[in-house]
Amino acid sequence: MRSALKAGAIGTFIVIIPVLGLVLTGWLSVYFYRKKTGFYPATPTGARLGAAAGVVLFALNAIFIVLIILLHAQKESIDSLSQFAERFGINTSSAQFQTTVNDLFSASGLAKSFLLALILTSIGGALCAWMMRQRPRS
């Protein structure tokens, strides 16, 4: 569980990389598990470790979003997110971008992000466990 907590906490910063950040968070949970225990986890165990890291990551991000809503800083957060996206060449004036950003602060948006976090971190954990088992041991 500690490996999932560490990976989820680090994942809050890695998630700046859109999809890859979630996969890397799951990967990190298995890597930390391997470092701590010395065991190579099975692929299903890796997926569970990744999913646990995804739950931690989601919980930390959900707390952050709830604080933004409670502090009435939603408009400022959307503006800074738009500025950040513009740096990467994303068209922030499109209706799709506006809908996606506003959806982040709704209950359905949180549910979607939870499912996405679980799926992608599980994939990352399973991939890491599978790749660790594929390496020849000497």
Q: Which residue has the tokens 């800074």?
A: 80
68: which 2 tokens? 């933004």
**pLDDT at res. 18:** 77
- Indicate whether 138 pLDDT > 60: no
How many structural domains are present in the chain? 1
Average pLDDT, the chain: 86
Domain membership of residue 87 as a residue range: 2-134
pTM value is: 0.77
